[in-house]
Amino acid sequence: MTKAPPTDSTRDDQILPLTRWLARLIVPVLFLGFLLLYIWPDNTEEMFAWTIRPRMTPLLMGAGYLGGAYFFLRSALAKKWHHIAVGLLPVTTFASSMTLATILHWDRFNHTHPAFFVWAVLYAITPFLVFYAWWENRKRDTGLSDPGDPILPLAARWIMAVFGFVILATGILLFLFPSLMIDIWPWTLSPLTARVGGGWFALPGVLWLGIAQDHRWQAARIGLESQALSLVLILLGVVRAWADFDQANPLTWIFIGGMTLLLLIIVVVYGWLEFGRRR
């Protein structure tokens, strides 16, 4: 076990009831988003808060929603705060970007659709609730590793930091300079979907940077599991929406190669450290 500064009675690494209840409430909403966008990506005009074209964008979003549902389900069931702590600031970043994208492109939404009311309420309150849950619960972290928990190697943390920076930078460019990114992106984007896509890139970028700052494997484990699930679905989505891609665009192959590489990194790190922990 690693040493930590002296702790007081509040540093028990417990998950506050507020955090658990918030996770329970978010799971069904995210799972519904997965169903609407990933199972029926061609029906967003009738079933979602706004019409999304082409189908690769709703597939990307749906993959992220299922990964998020998995993370919050595990958060509701987790035993210790540090097992899930790294995921809440990325969610806050993502939800905040959805709020701003909604405000900036208000006219693009179907204001009479029930899905829009769910979307609007969700992203009006989620950034504040998730950040507040993180802020209150962070005081519980002891800084200690679980007994027998392996250390995330420094080399792996540096790799995650580099990839996290690249992913976050991509998300920032999509959000701040949508016109520039629309011109070079592998599939067709609108200003709204560019900014929404920026949020989906910012989330894993902040997550990987957060993981790189913590040496405890259990602090990274659930976050990486949710990311692996999303990446698998994104790659399957590429197959489903292959006609949407400009195969002459080098970014098509960079996108596919990057998603594949991220998944391979997670698989290698996960397999290595889980084997070490169980041994």
Instruction: Report d(CA 91, CA 199) in Å as an integer.
Output: 9
Q: Which residues of the chain fall below pLDDT 70? A: 1-9, 276-279
pLDDT for residue 1: 45
Residue range 58-83, pLDDT digits in tens: 999 999 999 999 999 999 999 999 99
Q: In sequence order, what DSSP letters do the residues of 78-135 get, joined into one string?
A: -SSGGGTGGGHHHHHHHHHHHHHHHHHTGGGS-TTSHHHHHHHHHHHHHHHHHHHHHH
Residue range 156-207, pLDDT digits in tens: 999 999 999 999 999 999 999 999 999 999 999 999 999 999 999 999 999 9
pLDDT for residue 3: 43
Place of tokens 């399957």: 236
pLDDT > 90: what percent of the chain? 90
Burial tier of 51 (Cβ tally within 10 Å: 0-12, 13-18, 19+): middle
Instruction: Report d(CA 234, CA 58) in Å as an integer.
Output: 10
Instruction: Report d(CA 62, CA 42) in Å as an integer.
Output: 12
Maximal C-alpha separation, the chain: 60
Cβ–Cβ under 8 Å, residues 167 and 211 = no
Amino acid (1-letter code) at residue 153: P
pTM of the predicted protein model: 0.93
| Domain ranges within the chain, ordered by starting residue | 17-278
